[in-house]
Amino acid sequence: MECATVLRTVARQIALEKLAITGNGPLKGEVRISGAKNAALPILAACLLADDQVRVGNIPHLHDVTTMISLLGQMGVSVTVHEDMQVEVDARTIREFAAPYDLVKTMRASILVLGPLLGRHGQADVSLPGGCAIGARPVDLHVAGLRAMGAEVEIVDGYIRARSGRLRGTHLMMDKVTVTGTENLMMAACLADGETVIENAAREPEVIDLAAFLSAMGAQIEGAGTNRIVINGVRRLHGASYQVQPDRIETGTFLVAAAITGGHVRTRRTCPLYMEAVLSKLRAAGAVITTGPDWIDLDMQGRRPLAVDISTDPYPAFPTDMQAQLMALDCVADGVGTIIENVFENRFMHALELQRMGANIKIEGHTAIVQGVRTLHAAPLMATDLRASASLVVAALAAEGETVVDRIYHIDRGYECIEEKLRQIGAQIRRIA
């Protein structure tokens, strides 16, 4: 299936912009987890580095993914999407080296083409990024790192304009942990002259997945998953076949959905290894959790969850992308939960919507104090960002009456067929116009 066909399909899907959810008791059954969006996007961008065809499997069918595919297509890159979401990318046909505003404004991850374009072709014009309105996510660390590698970079009319000959390896000390910054600089360094060391690097599983993909194409990378990554530049990267890792945030969201309803759900084709921080909090909430090589089983045994405290920080700490879902859980839990958001300064917007359902939440700066109530009540809700929309769906599963969640194009950016998967485990949920 060609890229244009995929985009038309997604356009039809997001035209139906609301979810109607009726709480109807415990969720039970099995859910298959999709590939990780936050791994698929940098991996698709990294295909720009290869001088042969690349095949990537387990790509999730998401709006953000089709945006990235569209961006590659606009550059002249040959992209073929098969029905099983295996994606073939051939960057040898590239003719443009720009990421325009009309695409970048909807998806911050578009900035991930900056490093590979500059590393492979010595030029890139990338619009300053958009995405969810959850707080400042500056690009200064990306720019500083590329300049240290010898690139000339300026910001002109809302675009990052970068030019270079072959980049040179250098020692980079990151002022703060940044996932996209680590990924961009790691990709740029793969074809640089000499050794690049990234200190204070992000340790997220998605960074590990990107490094594994780059290595499959012939890159020389050590230390991915630690705070010090070493890349020895090579002259070329070849084609490869690769499978994207499972989505740990989707996994966590379905586990919380089971917990908030007192249910029993098994997530399959996932990776328990990357879920330790989330599983620890769910156990504290009263869940009985067992795991296997590629599955996680959560059983609440019909019990009301206990309130839990969380504090978000970069991996391996509790992920900011699960904060909203845990807040929803605390809303109906027994006790008081304290939630501290340390990553983004504007990531409590979902709290106002949860309050419309009867939740008892007090916000004090970067801290939310949640007093659990016995029951939430249906209300018309509006999603404000990707993970906020997931938290509203989760809360609605435990609420009395029918809740309608509007602006769910956010959720289509990060969750593949969420309503179908929830129906498989007993949820009453449907899309409406």
| CB within 8 Å of 119: residues ≥ 6 apart | 49, 167, 187, 188, 189, 190, 191, 192
Q: What are phi and psi of 150, to 5 degrees?
A: 105, 0
- Long-range CB contacts (within 8 A, 24+) of 164-169: 164/118, 164/122, 164/123, 165/122, 166/122, 166/191, 166/192, 166/193, 167/118, 167/119, 167/191, 167/192, 167/193, 167/233, 168/192, 168/193, 168/194, 169/193, 169/194, 169/195, 169/196, 169/231, 169/232, 169/233
| CB within 8 Å of 382: residues ≥ 6 apart | 353, 405, 406, 407
- Distance between CA atoms of residues 48 and 272, nearest Å: 31
- Is residue 217 a contact partner of residue 240, using CB atoms and an 8 Å limit? yes
- Is residue 58 a contact partner of residue 295, using CB atoms and an 8 Å limit? no
Query: What is the Cα 26 distance to its own chain's centre?
Result: 27
Residue 335 zone, left/alpha/beta (φ > 0; ψ -120 to 50; rest)? left
What count of Cα atoms within 13 Å lies in the side-chain half-sphere of residue 402? 10
Strand order across the 295-299 sheet = 28-32, 264-268, 295-299, 288-291
Q: In terms of C-beta density within 10 A (0-12 exposed, 13-18 middle, 19 or more buried), how is residue 134 classed? A: buried
Q: What are phi and psi of 370, to 5 degrees?
A: -115, 115
Three-state DSSP class for 155? strand
Write out the two tokens for 387. Answer: 């993970």
Among all residues, which ones are annotated catalytic? 132
| CB within 8 Å of 280: residues ≥ 6 apart | none
Q: Which residue has the tokens 């809303």?
A: 331
- Distance between CA atoms of residues 431 and 46, nearest Å: 34
Strand order across the 152-156 sheet = 98-99, 123-127, 159-163, 152-156
Which has the closest alpha carbon to 429: 13, 21, 28? 21
